[in-house]
Structure formats: C-alpha cells, structure tokens
A and B are shown apart, each in its own frame.
Chain A
Amino acid sequence: DIQMTQSPSTLSASVGDRVTITCRASQSISSWLAWYQQKPGKAPKVLIYKASSLESGVPSRFSGSGSGTEFTLTISSLQPDDFATYYCQQYNSYSRAFGQGTTVEIK
C-alpha cells in the first residue's frame, strides 16, 4: 500500500506568514493528491485536488504543487481562520491513504 508522510507534524506561525506543508508518497502517485482542512469538531473540507487545482470557493491564498512523490501546500498569507489541521490524501490507488496531519498553531 502507498504510505503518505507529512511534515512538519505541528507548525507555529503568525497571521500574515507564508506557510508551507510537505507531503511525500512512498511511490509515485502522479498528481492524484488532495489537501483537506479540518477544524476541531468539524468534518474535513477539501482545499486542493489533483495536486494543484483549487476547489471552488476556497480562497486563492491556498495553493498546491508537486507531482510524483513530493507535494506541497502553501498558504501565502496566513489568516486567523486558517489555524487548523491539514491532511494530504492520495487517490492514485484504491487505498486512498491520508497523511498523518499537520496542525497549524498560533505563534
């Protein structure tokens, strides 16, 4: 099965900071990668699909890049509403594995 590894596990940042989260796949997944945001007590929400496509309604400060085995999620200017946990997920193979998550905390 394909394994997904995110880094860092926790990130402390301030409003206005540029934030980058990395996700690595154990084998090539082409561009079949999504990024989700989850806030406490809520269901996840998709931000990015196909590695770099912005889901409808998601602010343009979110962007994704990468292909193959290395991917990044970038928040260009962190806003108060962005403090949350972020997960990558591969869907190249049937197993649809998630990364372990990255929590973005207030510095």
Chain B
Amino acid sequence: EVQLVESGGGLVQPGGSLRLSCAASGFTLSTYAMGWVRQAPGKGLEWVSSIDNSGVITYYADSVRGRFTISRDNSKNTLYLEMNSLRAEDTAIYYCAKISTVTAQFDYWGQGTLVTVSP
C-alpha cells in the first residue's frame, strides 16, 4: 500500500526556516517524480514544487522560488522541502504527492503537515 507521511511542520516566526519531510513507503521512491502542494487556511490548492525521480530536475512556483528548495534521498525513501525566509503568506497545510510515471497526475497524497508563520 502506498503511503506518504509528512512531518516537520510547526510554528515559525517570519524570516525563519523549516524543513519538511515526506516519508514514502509501499513503492520504490526512485522510480517516481514527486511534488509539494500547499493549501492556506480556507483557500484552494497551490502547487509549490516538483522534482524528477533522480533529484536532478526541480521546478518551483514563482511565489517560493529562491526561498524554498525541494530535494530527495531515495536511499532513505524521503522527500524534503527546505523553506527559508518564511512569510505569513506561507502559512498552509503542505502536502507531498507522488506523480504517476506515464500519465503524470498526482496519484497519491500524504495527509499534510501544517506550517504556521506568525510572530
């Protein structure tokens, strides 16, 4: 059974940093591209970042480029999102999601981890 479990969320001050982790099980992480999606309280879904299966190619939303870094450790079956220079508008639930190989949709999602940026 595919499982994605996010961790690392919490309360952080504006300008601070946080690293999110996503532990994958039930599939071979190194075969799949992965992504992060966030959802601010009461708002819609926002794609944040994606990474190819080897970790070489990364993409970012304009809202986080230069502040967030996506990475992966396939040997540890873990996806990461390093978040720096955090702003109040980064407050959201952050979901990691697996990307289907051939048809490329987000086919499995974690339960999410809440990041709150507040003084």
Contact = CB atoms under 8 A, between A and B. Distances in A.
B43 to A, nearest CB: 9
Given A32-B104, A50-B103, A95-B59, A43 B95 contact: yes
Classify the interface of chain A: helix, strand, loop or mixed. loop
B29 to A, nearest CB: 18
Size class of the A contact interface (CB-based, 8 Å): 20 to 34
Contacts of B111: 43
Contacts of B104: 32, 49, 91
A34 B97 CA distance: 14
Size class of the B contact interface (CB-based, 8 Å): 20 to 34
Contacts of A50: 103, 105
22 contacts: A32-B104, A34-B105, A34-B106, A36-B45, A36-B106, A44-B37, A44-B95, A44-B106, A44-B109, A49-B103, A50-B105, A55-B105, A55-B107, A87-B44, A87-B45, A89-B106, A91-B104, A95-B59, A98-B37, A98-B44, A99-B44, A101-B45
